Amino acid sequence: MNDCLSALARCRVILVGTTHPGNIGAAARAMKTMGLTQLALVAPEADTHDPVAVARASGADDVLASAQIVPTLAQALTGTVASLALTARAREWSVPPRPLRAAVQEACALAHAGADIALVFGPERSGLDNAAVQMCTQPVTVPTSAEYSSLNLAAAVQLACYEMRMAALADTPEAVPEPASPWATAEEVEGLHAHLLAAMTQCGFFDPAHPRQLPARLRRLFGRVRLEREEINILRGLLTAMGHRWKK
Amino acid sequence: MNDCLSALARCRVILVGTTHPGNIGAAARAMKTMGLTQLALVAPEADTHDPVAVARASGADDVLASAQIVPTLAQALTGTVASLALTARAREWSVPPRPLRAAVQEACALAHAGADIALVFGPERSGLDNAAVQMCTQPVTVPTSAEYSSLNLAAAVQLACYEMRMAALADTPEAVPEPASPWATAEEVEGLHAHLLAAMTQCGFFDPAHPRQLPARLRRLFGRVRLEREEINILRGLLTAMGHRWKK
C-alpha cells in the first residue's frame, strides 16, 4: 500500500441504528471504492446478510461480511482519538459543526500520525441524536443546498470517504499525463505553421500581402494545445494530400 | 440565490443509457442536495415514473419530473462549452483524464463566466463508450482505490455534484482567461469534425471504410484546446476554400 494511504487503514466508518439493509450494502461499497475497510454497525435495525444489503454492496461484500456489530456507540469508538459526527444541523450545547472537507483534513493528519479515527453516521430518518453527537469529538456538516439538505446515508458515507481519500492523497503530486506520442519540438511546430500558410495561400484563403490576424490566430490556437509530434504528422499529411489533389 | 452559486444553474447532469430506475431517482436526489436541477437522460432504459425511481428520489421528485429525455448525447450537450465525461479508466486516443476536483474547478470557473457546462455519466455496467468520451471536452476520473474502483452511478453523481458545489462556494473563482471570441458550443465543434471528415474524404486522405484512429486523433487534438467560435469559423472557412479550389 502506498505509504500516504496508510491513514485510510486507521479510519473506521460507524453507522448508528441503520434501518435499510440497502444503505448498509451501499455504504460498504462506497467505503471500498475509497480504500476504507473497517465498518462498525451500532445496534443496526437491518441485517448485513439481507440479500438487498449484499446486492448493493456489489464487490464490497468482504467489507460487509467483516463488519463489527456492537450495541453502543461508545464501544464502536473504542481506541479512537478523533471522531467526526455527520449531522445536517447545528446542535445546541455541542461544538459548532465544521464543514466536511476541513474536518476530514484535520482528522486525516491525526491518522497519518498514528491515531485511530472514525466517521460516524446516524439513522436515516432522524440522524444522530444529541447524545451521540456529543460523544464524538467534532460535529461535521456537508455544505448542502439550503433548500434541500436530505443526503442519502450511503451518499454521505461516499462523500466523507472520498474526502478522507483525497486528504490522504494530498501529499502525492498530481501525476503528469504521458502524451500518446512525444511532444512536438518548437521547430516541428514552426514547420506546421509554414506548411499551413503555404497551403492557405495556394488555395486563395490567405493573402500574404494582407495577412491581417490570420497567422496570429492560428498560432494562438495551436500554441494553446501543446501538440504531439504525431499530431503534427497527421496535420501535415492532410495538407500534403490536399495539395496533391489540387495538382491533379 | 447566492451569486456565487449561479454557476450551479449553468451545470446540467447527463445520464447516458441508465438501466436501473433507482439510480435515476438517487441521482436526482444527489443533484438537488447540491443545488443542481437540470437532469438530461440520453436513451434511458429505465422509466422516470417507475415507483423505484420516485422512491429513491425522495424529496427530489421535481428534478426527476422535469428531466429532459433525448435520443442522443449530442442533443443533450447542445449549447455546452465544457463537458466532463466521468470514466473509470484512461482511453486510448482520448485526452488524458484529469482528477475530478481539478476538472470541476476549471469547469465551474467557466460556468461562473456564463458558459453552460455538463457532467456526463455512462451506463452502470459498461460506462461511457469511446465515442461518447470523445464527444465530451474532458475525460475525468474519481481517484478511487486501485483494488476496487466500482463506484455506484448515483454515488459518482453525488461526488461530482458535491465538487461542483464546493467549487461554486469557493471564495475566489479561478480566473478564466477571457476568450478573444465566445467559446464554441458542442454542436459547433461537431460541425467542424463533420466538415473535416468530409474534406479529408474528398481529398483522399481519409477512407471512411477504414477510419483507423484518424477521427479519434483529431477529436483528441481539438478536444484539448477548447476552441473559440471564431477559430471554428476560420478552420471551416479554410476547408471551404480548399474545397472550392478542387472544384475549379
Distance CA(B56)–CA(A16), nearest Å, equals: 21
Q: Do the Cβ atoms of B133 and B97 come closer than 8 Å?
A: no
Chain B residues near residue A178 by CB distance under 8 angstroms: 96
pLDDT in tens, B238-247: 999 988 876 6
Q: Domain B186-247: which topology?
A: Helicase, Ruva Protein; domain 3 (1.10.8)
Mapped onto helix, strand or coil, the DSSP state of residue A22 is helix
**Structural domain spans, chain B:** 3-169, 186-247
Enter the C-alpha cell of residue A59.
464487490
Q: Residue B1: pLDDT above 50?
A: no
Q: Indicate the pLDDT class of residue B90, thresholds 50, 70 and 90.
A: low
Mean pLDDT of B71-96: 86
Q: Which residue has the cell 504531439?
A: A228
Q: pLDDT of B145-188, one tens digit each?
A: 999 999 999 999 999 999 999 999 985 544 555 666 788 998 99
pLDDT band at B3 (very low <50, low <70, confident <90, very high): low
Q: Is A50 exposed, middle or buried (0-12, 13-18, 19+ CB in 10 A)?
A: middle
Q: How is residue A26 written as a grid cell?
A: 451501499
Return d(Cα A171, Cα A35) in angstroms, integer.
Answer: 16
Q: Does domain B3-169 have CATH number 3.40.50.2300?
A: no
Residue tagged 456526463 (cell numbers) = B120
CA distance B240 to chain A (A): 9
The predicted structure's pLDDT at residue A176 = 44
How far is residue B228's CA from residue A149's CA, in Å, rounded to a whole number? Answer: 38
Contacts of A158 in chain B (CB under 8 A): 151-152, 155, 158-159
**Cα–Cα distance between B94 and B90 in angstroms, integer?**
8
Q: Count CA atoms within 13 Å of residue B34 on its CB side.
A: 30
ipTM entry: 0.83
C-alpha cell at B32: 438537488
Q: Per-residue pLDDT for B230 more than 80? A: yes
Name the stretches of chain A with pLDDT < 70.
Answer: 1-4, 90-95, 171-180, 246-248
Q: What whole-number percentage of chain B has pLDDT above 90?
A: 73
CA angle B62–B63–B67, rounded 5-degree value? 115
Confidence of residue B103 (pLDDT cuts 50, 70, 90): very high
Contact A48, A61 (CB under 8 A): no
pLDDT of residue A183: 79
Query: Which chain B residue is nearest to residue A32, measuring alpha carbons?
Result: B148
**Distance between CA atoms of A54 and B82, rounded to whole angstroms?**
38
Beta strand ranges found along B6-152 (DSSP E): 11-16, 38-42, 68-70, 80-86, 98-99, 116-121, 138-141
Does B34 score more than 90 pLDDT? yes
Q: How far is B209 from chain A (nearest CA, A)?
A: 18
Helix (H, G, I), strand (E, B) or coil at B172: coil
- Taking an 8 Å cut-off on Cβ atoms, the answer to whether B200 and A35 are in contact is no
CA gap B181, B233 in Å, rounded: 11
Looking at residue B77, what DSSP letter applies?
Answer: T
Which chain B residues contact residue A30 at CB under 8 A? 152, 155
- ∠ CA B124-B127-B131, nearest 5°, is 145
pLDDT of residue B213: 87
Report residue B69: phi and psi, to 5°: -115, 120
